[in-house]
Structures are given as C-alpha cells and as structure tokens.
Amino acid sequence: MVFEKFAGSVRSAVPLAPYTWLQLGGSAAFFAEPTDADQLQAIVQTTNREGMPIKVLGGGSNVLVRDKGFDGLVIHLSAPFFERISILGNTVQCGGGTRLAHLITACVGAGLGGLEHLVGIPGTVGGALRSNSSTDEGDIGRLMTQATLLSRQGQLNTVTADQVNFSHRRSSLDELLILDASFELEKGDVRQLTKREQTFWIVKRSKQPNYPTRSALAFIDLDGVSAVELLQRSGVNGLIEGSVQLNSTYPNYITANTGATSAQVIALLERAQKIVFDKTGFSLQPHVVVW
C-alpha cells in the first residue's frame, strides 16, 4: 500500500460521517492522523507524488461529505502536536488543529482579550481562519498576524497578515493546510474577560442548535443582507427535503434527522436557493463546504 510506511497514522476506507456535525456521507479512501509536522509533510508529499486528491478536515462543522465519500486522502490534525498553544506577551500562537474553544479559554485565562466574542463557534482554528469565522463583533482574521501554511506539494511557507485577504466568511488562505497561526491580542482583566466570554456564550447558545444536533450553517450572508432575512422573506423556513430540514427555530441552519442523506442536503440547499432567487433576486451561496 502507498502509505505502508505511515502505518498507524494512515488508515484506509474510513467513514467520515462521525467526524462531521451533519454526520452524513461516505468514506475516505485514506484517512491520515499524522503525529507531527514532519510526518504530515511526508504524507502530503507521498500523496502528491501519487497524484491523489487530498483534503483537510478540522472539526467538521462546515463540511458536507457526499454520499459516495471521498476517493482520496483526508488529513485530520488530531494529534496533540497540532493543538499546542503558546503565549508570549500579547502574542498567542497555536496549531491549526486547536479547538477554537480551547484557544479562547486559554487566552481569557491568560488575560488576553479579542477572541472571546467567537465563543460557541464550533471547530478548529484552521477551519475558522479558512472561512474567516465571525460574529457581529468582528472576524478572526483581523487578529491574525502570521500563519504557517503547507502547500499541496508539501512545502512550508509563512505568510503575514498583510499578505492575506479576509472578507465575510472568506479568506485567501487557500493553500492545502494551515499548520499554525499567531494572533495579537489585548491585555485585559481576567475576571472581566471571563464575564464577557460567558455572556457571548449564553447569547450564542440561544441562537444556534447545539451538538449533538446534526446541523450546519446553510448560507453565507450577502453584502448588506443577511441570509436569515432572505430566507424569512422568501418563506422557506422549515423547508423539508426527505429527512433534512431548514431549521425553523434557528433560521439558516440545516438539520439532518434519522434517514437523512447528503443528496437530500444538497437538494434542499438548491431548492431554497432557487426559491430565494425567484422571490428576491438575491443569489445565496452555501456556507457548508461540499466534498
């Protein structure tokens, strides 16, 4: 087998559904959980030499795996090496596989503020930077100072904030993988920051389905118009396709129920897109990334 020398870190025919919030879709031909950056690089270089497609999975909160699965290698940064957090002065550096929640808690505990409004957004720092996760209070991109990227050829490259474009739920960090990132935060009082974090957490929880609900964000807001507003104006809240529904309690979230398939999610998104376009002239784009 191609990945023989990485035995223990690369498995074959691994179901991806358990790794995603929607818990849907087929298997990955290969699934890699490297132990450190050197092994990660070697696996990527081998995959590239074989001409095999490759994808990176974070917390799986914004990925929909197709029913047929993915005929390539999926990298999952689950090893402790990729979840390290280090704090020096106002600068915090962490691995791309770090849970956003862990990063926020570590920063707040160290008296560093700026990220706490992002509390409650599921997933990893790599996933958050890739899609420039945000709330009404701002996005993650504006606090990033530097990131280490790994290319599809297995080359490492450092970029600074001025080389990256961040816009609403988008970034130009489109190399294969975000290995680590640094953020510049502001000193603050631990008790006040903790209170701020708790308040944001309570508000966020009240606005979204929480795990173990099988859910994902449906559409990206457009310039000046929110997806929620467009869905409401078009009367598609609660729209159903098979066992998948546009959540009526939490608009703009898709919920998968027992018997759901990825094909149903895709069909639901397309139907909602068409209705919204016909009724409002706005063309919504899916938030969830389809593999």
Phi and psi at residue 23, to the nearest 5°: 55, 50
Contact 93, 85 (CB under 8 A): yes
**Cα-trace Rg, the chain:** 19
Binding segment toward ligand FAD, per CB under 6 A, in 23-31, 42-50, 130-138, 189-197: 130-138
Active site residue 84: no
Please tell me whether residue 131 binds ligand FAD under the rule CB under 6 A: yes
Q: What is d(CA 231, CA 286) in angstroms, rounded to the nearest whole number?
A: 13
Contact 189, 99 (CB under 8 A): no
Considering the complex, state which of residue 60 and residue 69 has its C-beta at the smaller distance from ligand FAD. Answer: 60
Note whether 39 binds ligand FAD by CB under 6 A: no
Q: Which CB sits closer to ligand FAD, 107 or 111? A: 107
Task: By CB under 6 A, tell whether 135 contacts ligand FAD.
Answer: yes
Read off φ and ψ for residue 182, nearest 5 degrees: -120, 145
**Three-state secondary structure along 170-202?**
EECCCCCEEEEEEEECEECCHHHHHHHHHHHHH
- Contacting residue, 128, 147, 185, 269, with ligand FAD by CB under 6 A: 128
Q: How far is the CB of 64 from ligand FAD (least distance, A)?
A: 9
Q: Decide if 40 contacts 75 (C-beta within 8 A).
A: yes
Q: Among 10, 14, 17, 21, which residue interacts with ligand FAD (rule: CB under 6 A)?
A: 21
Name the β-bridge partners of 260.
none
Q: End-to-end alpha-carbon separation of the chain, Å?
A: 24
- Do the beta carbons of residue 132 and residue 143 sit within 8 Å? no
Stretch that binds ligand FAD, among 44-52, 157-165, 211-219, 238-246 (CB under 6 A): 211-219
247 binds ligand FAD (CB under 6 A): no
Decide whether 100 or 193 has the Cβ nearer to ligand FAD: 100
Among 93, 148, 215, 252, the residue binding ligand FAD under the rule CB under 6 A is: 215
Catalytic residue among 99, 130, 169, 214: 169
Choices 27-35, 38-46, 122-130, 265-273 (CB under 6 A): range interacting with ligand FAD: 122-130
Minimal distance, residue 154 CB to ligand FAD, in Å? 14
151: DSSP letter: -
Residue 286 Cβ, how far from ligand FAD at the closest point, in Å?
Answer: 12
Strand partners, 178: 149
User: Closest separation between CB of residue 148 and ligand FAD, Å?
Assistant: 10
Give the orientation angle of helix 227-234 with respect to helix 262-280, to 10 degrees: 80
By CB under 6 A, is residue 246 in contact with ligand FAD? no
* Alpha-carbon span 141 to 134, nearest angstrom: 9
For ligand FAD, the binding residues (CB under 6 A) are: 21, 55-63, 77, 96, 121-124, 126-128, 130-131, 133-135, 169, 177-178, 208-209, 215-217, 289
Active site residues: 169
